[in-house]
Amino acid sequence: MIAHFPILVIVVVLLAAPIVPLVGRKNWVFGWYVATGATLLSFLMSLSLLNTVLTDGRISYWLGNWEPPFGIEYVYDPLNAFVLVLVSFLAFMVAVYARKSLEAELQPDRLTPFYSMYMLFVAGLMGMVATGDLFNVYVFLEITSLAGYCLIAVGQKREALMASFTYLILGTIAATFVLLGIGYLYMATGTLNMADLAQRLPDLYQSKVVLTAFAFFTVGLSIKIALFPLHNWLPNAYTYAPSVTSTIMAATATKVGAYALIRVMFTVFQPDFEVTVVHVTQVLIFVSSVAILAGSIIAVAQTDIRKMLAYSSIGQIGYITLGIALMNEIAMTGSVVHILNHALMKGSLFLVVGAIVYKTGITHINDFIGLGKKMPVTMAAFTIAALSMIGVPLTVGFVSKWYLAIGSLDAGMWYLIPVILLSSLLTAVYFWRVIDNIYFKKPEKENADEQTPPGISEAPALMLVPTFALAALCVVFGIFASVPVSIAEKAAVMLLR
Amino acid sequence: MDIIISASPLYAVLVSLLAVVLIGVSGKNPNLRESWTIVAALIKFSIVVSMLPKILDGKIIEYTVFTMMPGLDLALRVDPLSMFFALTASLLWIITAFYCIGYMRAGKEKNQTRFYMCFAVALSGALGIAFSANLFTLFVFYEILTLCTYPLVVHKQTPEAVRGARRYLTYLLGTSIAFQLSAIFLTYFYAGTLEFTAGGILAGSASNTVITIIFVLFVMGIGKTAIMPFHAWLPAAMVAPTPVSALLHAVAVVKAGVFTLIKVILYVFGVDLLQELGLGVALAYVAAFTIIVASIMALRQDNLKLRLAYSTVGQLSYIIMAVALLTPSGITSALIAVMIHAFGKITLFFTAGAIYIAAHKTKVSELDGIGKQMPFTMFAFTVGALSMVAVPPAAGFISKWYLLLGAFEAHQLVLIGAIVVSTLLNAAYYLPIVYAAFFKPVPLGEGTEMHEAPALMVAPLVFTAIGTLVLFLWPTLLFDLAKLVLASVMGGY
Amino acid sequence: MIEFILGKYNYWICIALMMVGFYGMIAKENLIKKIIGMNIFQTAVFLFYISMSKVHGGTAPIEWHHAVVYDNPLPHVLILTAIVVGVSTTAVALALVIQIYQKYGTIEENRILELNRIEEEKNLEMNG
């Protein structure tokens, strides 16, 4: 049984996708039970996988017992076991949260299909993370994307449809680029197995075909992770999708995209390809810096909290790619650990927004006045996550920034430190406006109670617990940072060896 | 140098955090809530005092709380230098706790539970700064102090308060993230450690240019020192209730700033390195500029609290100048001034609050004859003012005396001139208040009968005023501690 | 040079088709035309895979005793998957367009964006 965890971890969720509509035909609650149970099971299995990887090293699982490169191989190393735990954990948390939130935000007949799509979405993400086969990455990428379009489109407002359509067009371009890249690599090497590719590619680094493949991969994946300026689809998608969708996408989808980028850049291609052949690192450093600043600056200008968080995500993606581009172990550690950290912070923030929407329906930050008194626990979670985004020490945000800054110095690029710190300041600006409104501003008008309807209280426990748990983890992993950092360090060493 | 491993500094820091929980739980019952504050303050002070004999014995107490990441420990260390700040903050918290109760109840303020909670966190922050064993720990508590004082400053929640508090936060958080954090990054990168070490950790690890940059970043990054041009938050923060201004802006926050700077100068750069690069003198000149300008600004203020705020800006720069001289007397002056100025300035703020509560006056020009109505308060004010001007028998005289000695030792005639001029300016903005209070006639329509603030407010301010005099008469403890510090950072003296 | 151009004519066709599709996706206002562009775009990539698998003189990759050289079957299989993906994407896209038409009454992108903008301004006014 344990020997088959590498595949079961995904199959459990994938199988849940058709089971959900079967059991949820009469009552969606059963669908919810299946979805939550499947994600929980999967989370536990991925924990066990991570544990095995950390103690015994790399796991290679042959699908259907076909020896690679003829069969598909699933590979677990510190990097993807780490990301897998993250994805399955967040999927579970969000699934728990979803019950109440979706009940309020969706029409009843859409609940069961939503959970089914949610399962597909998560399964796709986990598949992308686990597989050691390049074409498999494409298949899972499309599974997630297709499920993702549906998850966005069911948003309450009609803008959600258009947001979903825009994402569909851009997402298809991205996925087709990836498909092309795979085609080129296959043409040059005759294999699709990542480990095989890694062995055969170094002799072909000068080949135009390989260069083209690399270009298609980076551009395609950059669209998927919404790297500025390829971020157009993201703000509307996060804003108009149901809160559950925004959360799971912000917390995991872009992270898995970043993981895929890391895989392509450092496992399929080797680090010296980027350094000596294509010189992509300088470009990526520049683009990341612009992304970090632009995301933060545009976020400052937003008045809708979900748009603000969306642009903030675009900035945060810049941190991850910055750490990738710096090409040293410290920065790479920062990047990998930021995948976790940002997922926790942004996940928690989007869940808070979902709770506010659930209780009041407001998303405009000027209407948040007085919420601190009415929803103290939710707002405490928001404050913790916001402080973490700013990078206050003892939160996870500080850990990422620390590694990225020291990594920049290590690469001799001291001028990146102002970029990182400036974006921290901008983050402080746009979050502090919200915190001021929540806690410290008095309602301007006498009839202020009309703005926030009277009798607002805390969200139900099913929403509160995941929200607060993620916020609490921001502090726990901020204090005991050595736990994720040690895994990230292992991953970084492996990638850059 | 003996090192004792003991968790008592951690308990000293945590006591007030525990109090936060208790205060929060008993928010419905004001008497119980306030008694938690006082109990915590007393326990905290006694823990600090209990460590004092060991420190005077030349021992050092260390405790590593946890390792956050490789190279980054949250660790505490009690040495003579930290005792200056810890004693000041924990003793004055007790007094302020009483004063707060008087002030907040007399003023019928709202959100008192939040107020006391944040106050207690602030004290944890202050003690954490005092006891931090490395730059990282210091930075953690520095930020905690900034963030938890924000609700205190914004307490009234009026648009004006929000504006003032925003500025407060912008300056403190902004400088600490933009400059201090980059300085810490650079220090860690070049020195490979953040541990406070007597004699410095940076010497020889980087080029002179880099060290100069790091130094400038630190000076700019420790915004709590209110050195110009990063002083504007201090007057802005005067929108806070007076006890907050008193404890935080005369004691905890600004002292945290100068304490951090002293620590960085002595334990990160080291006296020798700064002397070699001439950075100490440069900083001393900036401080001298700040002193003169702040004094002139203070002269122009009619609002009593604002005048006190600008006076604080100037007084802090005395401390900065003193340590920047890098001479034994200068450092001594800086160390003892941490406590002496705290006693003097808290007295002045307490009186400002008492005047506001009892007579509803906030302006200097309204204080004619108030000495007859509030004799105790104005007696205390006089003592505080004398301490600021440095007239014996107020303790301020001692620190300024050593400052002058230090300037002579460093052969800085210009600085001596600046000190003399600024002393005259100090006199010019404090003594007229005293004169007006006692010798000018009471304005028409006001009685001359005694009308003091509640006893819970008057007793603390008389106590701190007496404290200011006591420090002048028996400063032995201060000098004993200062000698220990000098012995470690200058290799004997 | 001419040989280079003519000899790889299959790739040139793929590229041309791709660009046609790409143009349709980016530049067309009508959402259905965008979907058509998307299909052309994807098909171009499918053709690219298929033509890449052609081995000179090879037969279809089926068990046949006369065959000496086979075409490479793997890309065929891969592209079968990709075609399925393409069909699903088209299905989802068309479903979306139907919904959009029901909610907006139009499938012209610029008109839809305008409607969105109007609604957003209305919301802003409501918020003061």
What is the full DSSP assignment across C104-124?
A: HS--BHHHHHHHHHHHHHHHH
Q: Return the residue matching tokens 């371009």.
A: A173
Residue A445 near chain C (CB below 8 Å)? no
pLDDT value for B264: 92
User: Are residues A390 and B177, on separate chains, in Cβ contact within 8 Å?
Assistant: yes
B43-48 average pLDDT score: 91
d(CA B265, CA B270): 6
Residue percentage of chain B with pLDDT more than 70: 99
SS (H, E, C) A395-455: CHHHHHHHHHHHHHHHCCCCCHHHHHHHHHHHHHHHHHHHHHHHHHCCCCCCCHHHCCCCC
pLDDT value for A449: 47
Q: Do chains C and A touch (3 or more CB pairs under 8 A)?
A: yes
What total number of domains does chain C contain?
1
Q: Residue B297's domain spans which residues?
A: 278-493
Looking at CA atoms only, how far is residue B193 from chain A in angstroms? Answer: 12
Q: Which pair of structure tokens corresponds to residue B47?
A: 């823990």
pLDDT tens sequence across B280-339: 889 999 999 999 999 999 988 888 888 888 998 999 999 999 999 888 888 999 999 988
pLDDT value for B319: 92
User: Are residues B143 and A393, on separate chains, in Cβ contact within 8 Å?
Assistant: yes
Does residue B69 sit within a domain?
no
Taking contacts as CB-CB distances below 8 angstroms, the residues of chain B near A411 are: none
pLDDT value for B354: 87
pLDDT value for A450: 47
d(CA A176, CA A171): 8
- The number of C-beta contacts closer than 8 angstroms across A and B is 76
Does residue B28 sit within a domain?
no
C105-128 average pLDDT score: 83
Substitution target from A146, A169, A363, A452 for chain C, most C beta carbons within 10 A? A169
Taking contacts as CB-CB distances below 8 angstroms, the residues of chain A near B154 are: 436, 440
Does residue B82 sit within a domain?
no
d(CA B220, CA A135): 54
> Where residue B492 falls among pLDDT bands split at 50, 70, 90?
very low
Taking contacts as CB-CB distances below 8 angstroms, the residues of chain A near C81 are: 135, 139
Does residue B118 sit within a domain?
no
- The number of C-beta contacts closer than 8 angstroms across A and C is 74
Q: Is the confidence at residue B215, as pLDDT, over 70?
A: yes
User: Are residues A172 and C113, on separate chains, in Cβ contact within 8 Å?
Assistant: no
B182-196 average pLDDT score: 90
**Secondary structure element (H or E) that encloses residue B65, with its range:** strand B60-69
Does residue B360 sit within a domain?
yes
Contact B248, B149 (CB under 8 A): yes
Q: Do chains B and C touch (3 or more CB pairs under 8 A)?
A: no
Q: What is the pLDDT along chain A (497 residues), one digit of tens a residue?
A: 778 888 899 999 999 999 999 998 888 889 899 999 999 999 999 999 999 999 988 888 888 888 877 888 899 999 999 999 999 999 999 999 999 888 888 888 889 999 999 999 999 999 999 998 999 999 999 999 999 999 999 988 888 999 999 999 999 999 999 999 999 999 888 888 888 888 888 888 888 888 889 999 999 999 999 988 888 899 999 999 999 999 999 999 999 999 999 999 998 888 888 777 888 888 899 999 999 999 999 999 988 899 999 999 999 999 999 999 998 999 999 999 999 999 999 999 999 999 998 888 888 888 888 888 888 889 999 999 999 999 888 899 999 999 999 999 998 888 999 999 999 999 999 999 899 888 887 766 544 444 455 567 788 888 899 999 999 999 999 988 888 999 999 999 988 87
Contact A269, A214 (CB under 8 A): yes
* A399, A402, A425 member nearest B177 (Cβ): A425
Residue A150 near chain C (CB below 8 Å)? yes
Looking at CA atoms only, how far is residue B213 from chain A in angstroms? Answer: 12
Contact B44, B90 (CB under 8 A): yes
Taking contacts as CB-CB distances below 8 angstroms, the residues of chain B near A493 are: none
User: Are residues C96 and A176, on separate chains, in Cβ contact within 8 Å?
Assistant: no
Does residue B198 sit within a domain?
no
Q: Return the residue matching tokens 């004010």.
A: B381
d(CA C96, CA A162): 8
Provide the residue count of chain A: 497
Q: What are the phi and psi torsion angles at B252 (to 5°)?
A: -70, -55
Q: Is the confidence at residue B446, as pLDDT, over 80?
A: no
pLDDT value for A453: 53
Taking contacts as CB-CB distances below 8 angstroms, the residues of chain A near C74 are: 186
User: Are residues B174 and A425, on separate chains, in Cβ contact within 8 Å?
Assistant: yes
Average predicted confidence (pLDDT) for chain B: 87
Task: Give the contacts of A462 (CB within 8 A, at least 6 positions apart).
Answer: A96, A97, A99, A100
Taking contacts as CB-CB distances below 8 angstroms, the residues of chain C near A175 are: 85
The residues spanned by each domain of chain A are 1-278, 301-497
CATH number at residue C25: 1.10.287.3510
Residue A135 near chain C (CB below 8 Å)? yes
pLDDT value for A445: 55
pLDDT value for C127: 64
Does residue B151 sit within a domain?
no
Substitution target from C8, C11, C14, C45 for chain A, most A beta carbons within 10 A? C45
Residue B439 near chain A (CB below 8 Å)? no
Helix (H, G, I), strand (E, B) or coil at A462: helix
Substitution target from A116, A144, A176, A236 for chain C, most C beta carbons within 10 A? A176
Q: Which residues in C have their CB inside 8 Å of a CB on A? A: 22, 25, 31, 34, 38, 41-42, 45, 48-49, 52, 74-75, 78, 81-82, 85, 88-89, 92-93, 96-97, 99-100, 103-104, 112-113, 116, 119, 127-128
pLDDT tens sequence across B128-150: 999 999 999 999 999 999 998 88
C54-59 average pLDDT score: 76
pLDDT value for C95: 93
* C48, C88, C104 member nearest A183 (Cβ): C48
What total number of domains does chain B contain?
1
Substitution target from B153, B184, B189 for chain A, most A beta carbons within 10 A? B189
Helix (H, G, I), strand (E, B) or coil at B155: coil
d(CA B84, CA B2): 20
Sheet architecture: strand order including B72-78: B3-5, B60-69, B72-78
Looking at CA atoms only, how far is residue C35 from chain A in angstroms? Answer: 8
pLDDT value for C64: 72
* A391, A393, A425 member nearest B140 (Cβ): A393
CA triple C42-C46-C51, angle to 5 deg: 145
B434-458 average pLDDT score: 80
Residue B70 per-residue DSSP state: T
pLDDT value for A399: 92
Does residue B295 sit within a domain?
yes
User: Are residues A409 and B70, on separate chains, in Cβ contact within 8 Å?
Assistant: no
Q: Residue C13's domain spans which residues?
A: 2-126
Residue B223 near chain A (CB below 8 Å)? no
pLDDT value for C2: 77
User: Are residues C48 and A180, on separate chains, in Cβ contact within 8 Å?
Assistant: yes
Taking contacts as CB-CB distances below 8 angstroms, the residues of chain C near A138 are: 82
User: Are residues C127 and A169, on separate chains, in Cβ contact within 8 Å?
Assistant: no
Assess: ipTM above 0.95.
no
